[in-house]
């Protein structure tokens, strides 16, 4: 932990000193270690009360030393808003966390959130797991809250595909909540990420979960709500998604199921309807191949050379006319025709009416 993070941790552990105060202190002092060395009068000038200045634990405080040892023992990292590796999308929301506690490693992938009822139906859990597996197989990181029900199924689906997932906690990162998710928690830590904006030892209080939900949506390009009652906490995540300019999706449910009332209402209000992963991919990633498809393309590309490779690389999932291909590659119509025929016979490209071509399905 560098000196700046060390200073930020002391400030973050001060009772009552929240994200707004941290942003004000950084804006005024530029360095948190300077804020710690400043007199209370300067804190007041920064817009932070002298009472909060007095609440900062000293270096030798037993509580501070205990947290330091816990961070080291559990290999927990600190990522501040001012660090280069802070998540880009999360940085853009209007109330980003000043500090994140991280266990594991943040996947460098685009993210999509899946949330829903803690008491989901069997069909809801199956749908969640299948959707998460499919999206993860397209190299998309699944974000959720490690809660019972839909959240757990979303994380598990991503792991089924050997994909990426991030669990955002509404408690300290050293606490596993709910306790029955301890195995899932540890699996996520191995190759993915557990994050929280709350200091270690913070209990899972009800008031923490709305803040957790804004991070779930803030990390993600879009949010899917699988099952939600009329006053479900998942709907709060949906509200944050809309506020943050994210795409909102929902799965429809039976009229008689109380867990479907919230999602059905979202659909009536304009949320995107989802019955399969393609409904999400077409909105956010319309031409994104699956990991397996990309591996096939990479393998096929490795077999090509010269102008055959050049022609294949010009083609994607949008039709391209042969005249444009010839122009881009500097080929005569006859030269191009022979190459296109060879690539088509090998399954690398597909011919469409009107002399248009796209990549094949391999």
Q: What is the CATH number of the domain that holds 308?
A: 1.10.10.10
**Residue at 168 is within a domain:** yes
Distance between CA atoms of 335 and 333, rounded to whole angstroms?
6
Asked whether residue 311 falls in the same domain as residue 277, the answer is no
In three-state form (DSSP H/G/I as H, E/B as E, the rest C), the secondary structure along the chain is: CCHHHHHHHHHHCCCCCCHHHHHHHHHHHCCHHHHHHCCHHHHHHCCCCHHHHHHCCCCCCHHHHHHHHHHHHCCEEEEECCCCCCCHHHHCCCCCCCEEEEEECCCCCCEEEEECCCCCCHHHHHHHHHHHHHHHCCCCEEEECCCCCHHHHHHHHHHHCCCCEEEECCCCCCCCCCHHHHHHHHHHHHHCEEEECCCCCCCCCHHHHHHHHHHHHHCCCEEEECCCCCCCHHHHHHHHHHHCCCEEEECCCCCCCHHHHHHHHHHHCCCEECCCHHHHHHHHCCCCCCHHHHHHHHHHHHCCCHHHHHHHHHCCCCCEEHHHHHHHHCCCHHHHHHHHHHHHHCCCEEEECCCEEEECCC
Domain check: are 208 and 323 in the same one?
no
pLDDT cut 90: percent of the chain above it: 84
pLDDT tens by residue, 234-250:
999 999 999 999 999 99
Rg (CA), the chain: 25
Q: Give yes or no: residues 157 and 269 share one domain.
A: yes
- Which of 265, 284, 303 is the last residue before a domain boundary? 284
Same domain, 123 and 247: yes
| In a shared domain, residues 55 and 183 | no
Where in the sequence is the domain holding 20, given as residue range(s)?
Answer: 1-73
Regarding whether 247 and 226 lie in a shared domain, the answer is yes
Mean of pLDDT values over 138-166? 97
Same domain, 196 and 258: yes
Q: What is the mean pLDDT of the chain?
A: 93
Are residues 258 and 209 part of one domain? Answer: yes
CA 17 to chain centre: 27
Are 235 and 152 part of one and the same domain? Answer: yes
| Domain membership flag for residue 99 | no
> 317 pLDDT exceeds 90?
no
pLDDT band at 231 (very low <50, low <70, confident <90, very high): confident
What's the pLDDT score for residue 302? 86
Confidence grade of residue 288 (pLDDT, cut at 50, 70, 90): confident
% pLDDT > 70, the chain = 100
Answer yes or no: do 255 and 303 share one domain.
Answer: no
Q: Which of 221, 253, 284 is the endpoint of a domain?
A: 284
Tell me whether residue 26 is in a domain.
Answer: yes
Q: How many domains does the chain have?
A: 3
Within a domain: residue 258? yes
- Section 38-46 average pLDDT: 95
pLDDT digits 0-9 by tens, 53-102? 999 999 999 999 999 999 999 999 999 999 999 999 999 999 999 999 99
């Amino acid at each position: 932990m560098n000196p700046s993070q060390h200073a930020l941790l002391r400030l973050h552990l001060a009772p009552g000193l929240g994200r707004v105060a941290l942003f004000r202190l950084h804006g005024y002092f530029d360095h948190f270690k300077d804020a710690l060395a400043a007199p209370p009068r300067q804190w007041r000038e920064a817009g932070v009360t002298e009472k909060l200045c007095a609440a900062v634990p000293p270096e030798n405080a037993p509580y501070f030393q205990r947290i330091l040892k816990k961070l080291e023992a559990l290999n927990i990292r600190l990522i501040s808003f001012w660090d280069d590796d802070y998540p880009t999308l999360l940085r853009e929301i209007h109330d980003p966390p000043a500090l994140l506690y991280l266990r594991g490693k943040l996947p460098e992938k685009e993210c999509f959130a899946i949330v829903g009822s803690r008491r989901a139906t069997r069909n809801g859990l199956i749908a969640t797991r299948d959707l998460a597996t499919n999206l993860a197989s397209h190299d998309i990181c699944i974000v959720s809250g490690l809660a019972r029900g839909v959240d757990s199924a979303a994380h598990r689906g991503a792991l089924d595909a050997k994909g990426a997932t991030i669990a955002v906690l509404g408690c300290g990162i050293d606490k596993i909540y709910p306790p029955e998710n301890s195995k899932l928690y540890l699996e996520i830590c191995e190759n993915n990420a557990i994050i929280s904006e709350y200091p270690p030892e913070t209990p899972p209080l009800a008031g923490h979960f709305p803040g957790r939900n804004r991070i779930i949506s803030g990390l993600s390009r879009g949010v899917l709500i699988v099952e939600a009652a009329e006053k479900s906490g998942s709907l709060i995540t949906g509200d944050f998604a809309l506020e943050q300019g994210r795409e909102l999706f929902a799965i429809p449910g039976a009229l008689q199921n109380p867990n479907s009332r919230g999602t059905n209402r979202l659909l009536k209000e304009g949320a995107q309807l989802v019955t399969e992963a393609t409904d999400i991919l077409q909105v956010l990633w319309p031409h994104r191949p699956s990991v397996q498809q990309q591996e096939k393309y990479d393998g096929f590309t490795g077999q090509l050379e010269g102008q055959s490779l050049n022609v294949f690389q010009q083609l994607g999932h949008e039709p391209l006319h042969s005249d444009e291909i010839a122009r881009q590659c500097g080929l005569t119509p006859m030269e191009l025709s022979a190459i296109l025929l060879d690539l088509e016979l090998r399954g690398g490209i597909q011919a469409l009416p009107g002399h248009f071509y796209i990549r094949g399905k391999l």
